[in-house]
Structure 1
Amino acid sequence: MTILTTLGPLLIALLFGYWVNIKVFTPTRVAKGLEQLVYLILGLIGFSLGALDNLAEKLFIAGYQAIIFFVLISVLSLGGLYLSGLRFGGTHADNLAQGPSDSKSHALMDAAKTIAWVIGGVVVGIFAKDWLTGVDELVTGLLYVLLFLIGCQLRQGNHRLRKLFLNSQGVIIALVTIFTTLLAGWIGSFVLGLSWNQGLAVVSGFGWYSLSGILITGLGDPVLGTTAFLLDLGREILALMLIPFLARLNSHMSVGYSGATAMDFTLPMLGKFHGAQIIPVCIASGFIMSILVPVLIPLFMGI
């Protein structure tokens, strides 16, 4: 029953946004609303973290956990993706020139703004925790709005499920990435002394740092949410840095390690090094992982 009460409303909000076309929610308004809502929720997450007792100790724990999961994911995912690329015909980069610097700087600036909102929330939480209440309930309510807007954005991007799931390379890359990432989470849970479902939940963001930390914190674990946030933020930044090198080996490694961000943040870099033919693969792989994030995290957290 816990799984149903946790996952059900979140999934309904996502599917409602995907299937129901409400004209007032134009692509521009959805994009702007998503950006503002994400920053607001991240600030509230920072507040929840700052309101915790023994904050320094818990930040240290979150950082340590993120490093362990990060290393395990990098080793297992890159190894699995290298083998799948050899077996299923991953392509090599044709253009080894420097990728678009604007995509790197944009992602780094976005990451800096995200961290600033979280830090700001932490500072407010430290000094205002005694008189500002109901933050956790507010985060949970905003989660439903966030997932509704994400559903709208996925529909407005003309991402048709049937077409995406018929892209064999994209599906293979997504499946290998998902399996190796969850395997890393399962192993990491034993290394860190977490329950197996916590280990699986924290790695199920697949690089989508602006959602994974929000979901886990909103579901009642701000420390684990911080771990997921740091893990996925580090993964996106490293993916941008490694794409030029991974692309020389095979496309499975460069696309798969980018995770859910292959369909947005890292897409310009992937297109630069692999050519236009890689775009459908990136969108299919990134979409499959993106659609699973708001399903898997509540599922594992509810067990």
Structure 2
Amino acid sequence: MNYIFSIGILICLISVGFILGNMVKGRFKNQIQNFINIILYMLLLSMGIRLGTNPDVLKKLGSIGIVSLAFACMTIIGTIIVNIVFSIKKNKCINCYEETSSSHQTIQINFKEPLTLITIVLVGIFTGYYFQVFLEELPIDTISTYILNFLLFGVGFQMGSEGSDIKSALKNKEAIFLPIKTVIGSLVGGLLLTPFFGLSLGDSLAISAGFGWYSLSGVMLSDLGTPYLGSIALLSNIMRETIAIILIPFLSRTLYPNLSIAIAGATSMDVTLPLISHYGGRDKAPLAIMHGSLLSLAVPILVPSFYIIFN
């Protein structure tokens, strides 16, 4: 029930922000964007610090890092392929971030932004690892939660002030089909790795069904299976989230901009939502929230189901 409560809190924060933003429609555009950027950087930094201060995660990076990276890559690749093959509509993004007339300038922007984001995460990891003694008393998880809450409120406020059409997004067929394609692509991609790492069918499906929600999938598989499977689920979904952060600015500008939502998995409703909204356009935010919400509801059902049924 905790995850349902958490999803409810996230939706409430976005809704309150949307209502307030709608009251000041058209104003404070630059201030809102600057606020969201600052909060986003703080969230990525805190994410890196959490990784750096977790000795278990750092140790596991060496022993099971290859398996985790393989699952992260294959679930994303599978998601991309399935979404392209079964794409309903091919459109370039509308209201994308800072389109330029020069292709050279566009390439510079495309590479600069994701490099900035991953650099912030790496700085956080470095800080957490080398200054762990000074940071161990800080409630990093609680701080990250508050930062995320501010961020989601800001995204909702921005959606309201920009006049995002939520009703149209919910009527869009992609609101239902996009998460289905993400599920199929992720599971197929992970399933292909089964013979290479000596895993059972149930193990591969359960790991792949995390959809980027590393905290829940890691804990569930640790309880159901072994710490080894739990560690793979944890790291592979952390890596999926990190890879998504890097790829979202690129995929938002393709003929299939919804790929930026699909690869984010369950995180499209929270951590990666500001990036999706920033690069794909404000109109993508409602679809991203629906996509992430449905996948978040699916994770606690699919992970144990796959492990129990196919093992």
TM-score normalised per structure 2: 0.65
Match of 2:30 in 1: 28
Q: CA deviation at 1:201?
A: 3.3
Asked whether the 8 Å contact 2:252–2:258 carries over to 1, the reply is no
Equivalent position of 1:180 in the other structure: 181
After TM superposition, the structure 1 = structure 2 runs for residues 101-116 of structure 1, keeping only pairs within 5 Å, are 101-116=104-119
CA 1:47–1:301: 2 relative to 1, 3 Å? farther
Q: Distance in 1 between matches of 2:102 and 2:209?
A: 34
Residues 72-83 of structure 1 correspond to what in structure 2 (within 5 A)?
Answer: 72-81=78-87
- 1:102-251 aligned at under 5 Å gives the runs 102-132=105-135, 133-165=138-170, 171-173=172-174, 175-188=176-189, 193=203, 196=206, 199-202=209-212, 223=235, 226-236=238-248, 239=251, 243=254, 247=255
- Residue identity in the other structure for 1:201: F
- Partner of 1:45 in structure 2? 47
Gap runs ≥5 in structure 1: 93-97, 204-212, 248-253, 268-282
After TM superposition, give the deviation of residue 153 of structure 1 in Å: 0.9
2 CA distance for matches of 1:225 and 1:5? 22
Q: CA deviation at 1:3?
A: 2.7
CA distance in 1, matches of 2:13, 2:115: 29
AA in 2 matched with 1:183? I
* C-alpha spacing 1:266/1:91, structure 2 compared with 1 (3 Å): closer
Aligned pair count reads 250
Please tell me the residue identity of whatever aligns with 1:199. A
1:47 and 1:125 in contact (8 A); partners too: yes
AA aligned opposite 1:126:
Y
Equivalent residue for 2:74?
A: 68
Give the superposition deviation at 1:186. 3.6
Task: Report deviation, 1:293.
Answer: 5.2
Are the equivalent residues in 2 in contact too, given 1:185–1:202 (CA < 8 A)? Answer: no
Contact map agreement 2:82 2:185 (CA 8 A) in 1: yes
- Report the AA paired with residue 70 of structure 2: Y
2:248 and 2:260 in contact (8 A); partners too: yes
Q: Measure the CA separation in 1 of the matches of 2:164 and 2:216.
A: 23
C-alpha deviation, 1:183, in angstroms: 1.7
CA contact (8 A) 1:51 1:126 kept: yes
**What do you get for the CA RMSD once the two structures are aligned?**
3.8
Alignment CA distance shift 1:120-1:237 (3 Å): same
CA deviation vs aligned residue, 1:60-88 (integer Å, no higher than 9, x gap): 2553332121221122112112xx45xxx
Residue 288 of structure 2 is matched in structure 1 by: 290
Deviation sequence 1:246-271 (CA, Å, 0-9, x none) = x5xxxxxx34434477865257xxxx
Alignment gaps of 5+ in structure 2: 93-100, 195-202, 219-232, 263-274, 302-311
SS at match of 1:153: helix
Instruction: Name which of structure 1's ranges 155-164 and 10-19 shifts more when overlaid on structure 2.
Output: 155-164
Query: Offset of 1:184 from its aligned partner?
Result: 2.1
- What is the alpha-carbon distance in structure 1 between the residues aligned to residue 8 and residue 238 of structure 2? 24
